[in-house]
């Protein structure tokens, strides 16, 4: 009987060990999940599907969710002040999302404050750098600031537009007159001038058709400005204006439906689908788009963090050389020969054979 009791005791202990191991194995995935990078994003004005900076940033983060299995969450502030942005950054931090990505220059003050307040968090600010009330930029050791060569994207789009149109007038509608928007304009003008000189196109861009509306959200104003330009014979308008550009797209779509051929050059992301005015044929009024690879920039930084290689204190520039700017790979409204010439120009830009100025010059008549 003692032997039987001893055997039973041994079996009981063995069974307990098996249960314990099983519990430890079951807990392992939870522990792994807890260690995953938690990526937070605060949106700027507009929605997460704004076809611009918010959507581009979130697309890059979502790719990281799929590829790298990180956790991600975004918050939309109730307003667009520095205090509103800072509040949501704090909410993400409190929820454990300590790798925070923010899109646009309006976050400069909020990141400037937050990078010092939350020293164990990491920040990525796109298209801007952290700056204090005095305007001085300070990229903290836990922050990466990313800029884009908008003038190069605008240049390639300008060459493409001029080659496709061959003759006629083009215009530009910007939102706020800030450096990224200005650089788009200046690059586009240089692209048109380059095409005229190199490929004998005869496209004109008059000073009266270069307008900064002053906001990024006045859709009605964008539609009115576009209507005025189109009425004066402008064939294509490059819009770097957020919601104001949406108004211009709406005006162009309305005219295209009426059989009047007008074009819009999109911005930041490939806006071709936004310009579709005939669902049956898939025809769009977007000639091409001057793109910033916002999604790539966001994804790259999340991947670096996931790989343990994130390096704060840096200011990076995404340009033609590193594939950070350009036009879409597919441009249905560009002829094949135009696409070929544009590809050659883009290659020359990447190699340094062509240099585009990032400042204003004597570019328009």
Each residue's pLDDT tens digit, 303-362: 999 999 999 999 999 999 999 999 999 999 999 999 999 999 999 999 999 999 998 865
| 132: helix, strand or coil | coil
Domain membership flag for residue 26: no
Burial class (CB in 10 A: 0-12, 13-18, 19+), 307: exposed
Quote the mean pLDDT of the chain.
90
Question: Sign of dihedral through CA atoms 154, 156, 160, 163?
Answer: positive
Q: What percent of the chain has pLDDT over 90?
A: 82
Question: Sign of dihedral through CA atoms 193, 197, 198, 201?
Answer: positive
Specify the pLDDT at position 242. 87
Residue 295 has pLDDT above 70, yes or no: yes
Domain-terminating residue out of 148, 182, 203: 148
210 & 343 share domain: yes
User: pLDDT band for position 5 (50/70/90)?
Assistant: very low
Domain membership flag for residue 20: no
Specify the pLDDT at position 17. 43
Domain residue limits at 106: 35-148
pLDDT in tens, 299-318: 999 999 999 999 999 999 99
Domain membership flag for residue 322: no
| 207: helix, strand or coil | helix
pTM of the model: 0.85
**What is the rounded distance in angstroms from the CA atom of residue 319 to the CA atom of residue 316?**
10
Burial class (CB in 10 A: 0-12, 13-18, 19+), 104: buried
pLDDT in tens, 21-45: 444 444 444 444 456 899 999 999 7
Could you give the number of structural domains in the chain?
Answer: 2
Residue 364 has pLDDT above 50, yes or no: no
104 & 144 share domain: yes
State the average pLDDT over residues 241-248: 93
Residue 130 has pLDDT above 70, yes or no: yes
46 & 166 share domain: no
């Amino acid at each position: 009987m003692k032997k039987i009791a001893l055997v039973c005791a041994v079996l009981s202990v063995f069974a307990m060990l098996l249960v314990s191991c099983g519990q430890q194995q079951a807990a392992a995935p939870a522990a792994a999940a807890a260690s995953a990078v938690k990526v937070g994003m605060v949106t700027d004005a507009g929605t997460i599907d704004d076809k611009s900076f918010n959507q581009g940033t979130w697309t890059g983060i979502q790719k990281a969710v799929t590829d790298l299995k990180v956790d991600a969450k975004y918050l939309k502030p109730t307003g667009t002040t520095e205090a509103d942005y800072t509040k949501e950054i704090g909410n993400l931090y409190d929820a454990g999302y300590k790798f925070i990505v923010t899109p646009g220059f309006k976050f400069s003050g909020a990141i400037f404050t937050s990078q010092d307040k939350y020293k164990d968090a990491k920040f990525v600010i796109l298209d801007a750098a952290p700056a204090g009330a005095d305007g001085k930029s300070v990229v903290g050791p836990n922050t990466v600031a990313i800029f884009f060569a908008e003038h190069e994207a605008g240049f390639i789009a300008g060459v493409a537009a001029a080659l496709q149109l061959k003759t006629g007038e083009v215009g530009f509608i910007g939102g706020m007159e800030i450096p990224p928007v200005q650089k788009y304009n200046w690059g586009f003008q240089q692209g048109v001038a380059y095409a005229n000189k190199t490929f004998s196109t005869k496209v004109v861009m008059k000073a009266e058709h270069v307008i900064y509306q002053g906001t990024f959200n006045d859709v009605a104003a964008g539609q009115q400005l576009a209507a005025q330009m189109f009425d004066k014979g402008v064939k294509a308008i490059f819009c770097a204006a957020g919601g104001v550009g949406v108004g211009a797209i709406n005006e162009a779509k309305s005219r295209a439906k009426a059989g009047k051929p007008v074009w819009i050059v999109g911005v930041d992301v490939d806006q071709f689908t936004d310009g579709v005015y005939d669902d049956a044929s898939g025809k769009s009024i977007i000639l091409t788009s001057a793109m910033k690879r916002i999604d790539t920039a966001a994804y790259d930084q999340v991947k670096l963090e996931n790989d343990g290689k994130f390096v704060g204190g840096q200011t990076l520039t995404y340009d033609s050389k590193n594939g950070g700017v350009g036009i879409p790979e597919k441009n249905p409204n560009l002829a094949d020969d135009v696409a070929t010439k544009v590809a050659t120009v883009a290659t020359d830009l990447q190699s340094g054979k062509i240099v585009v100025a990032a400042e204003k010059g004597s570019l328009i008549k």
